[in-house]
Amino acid sequence: MSLVIAFNLNDFAILATDRRGVLHYGNEKENIILKIDDNYQKLRKIPFGFFASAGDYLIAECFYIECMTETTHKRNLDQILENTYYRYCNLKDVCHFSEMTTILLIAKEFNQNGKTTKDAILEINIEFQHIKIQEVDSMNLVALMANMNPDQNFWNKIGGYLRSSNDFNKFEDFFSYHVCLIKYIWQKQLKFDDLISHHTDFYFHDRRTSKGILLPAERFEKLPLEGSWIQ
């Protein structure tokens, strides 16, 4: 019960999420909702980047704990994910892997000389006995949601709206353009999807410097919407 979006805009990246978190017990025969929280923070800062998630929030919590845990030996992402998997499996009184969990991660990249390169944008899918990591290509997006937009061409259109910073004379115009695009997506999704919250948390990231700005819903919603460019 989420709407989580990642944009790879070449030198920059965006993560945007709704705030609805759902704790439920599920199996093949039933799905019982135990708690709905419309103030759940899905965007998280970790020592080597930023991430957002959709799916089983207990896996996301385990991933966050592993990322924040200091260890004697430095772990790579594969090791952190392996530890996440086993931490989750050891949770008691949980119906494990009732759904796939996806983590969208902006992570610092290092070359063979140990120097940082442009940050990676990764899509990590976690299922029973299976973890898959793939990189989000430049000028592409990933959208995670429970209810797909009934317009089959909608997300193709959204992908076509993505722009590089080189397409604008002013950085402010580039930033505002994609703020409007995120707001436009939420407007469209809320017309038919009652499983997401109205609130949008927004993170804008410079992949070259590993720096970014997080705008919680209270600040993001105050940004102006000028969507006349959308057809």
Note the pLDDT tens digit of each residue in 93-128: 777 887 899 999 999 875 445 555 789 999 999 999
Q: Is residue 32 part of a domain?
A: yes
Residue 227 placed within a domain: no
pLDDT, tens digit, for every residue of 43-61?
A: 999 999 999 999 888 899 9
Provide the pLDDT for residue 228: 47
Instruction: Judge whether 228 lies within some domain.
Output: no
Q: Give this prediction's pTM.
A: 0.88
Q: Is residue 14 part of a domain?
A: yes
Task: Report yes or no on 226 lying in a domain.
Answer: no
CA-wise closest residue to 140 among 125, 121, 165, 124:
121
205: nearest Cα among 214, 195, 192, 193: 214
Backbone phi and psi for residue 60, each to the nearest 5 degrees, phi listed first: -60, -40
In a domain, 222, yes or no: no
Domain presence at residue 160: yes
The boundaries of the domain holding residue 35 are 1-217
Residue 36 has pLDDT above 80, yes or no: no
Which CATH number belongs to the domain containing residue 96 in this structure? Answer: 3.60.20.10
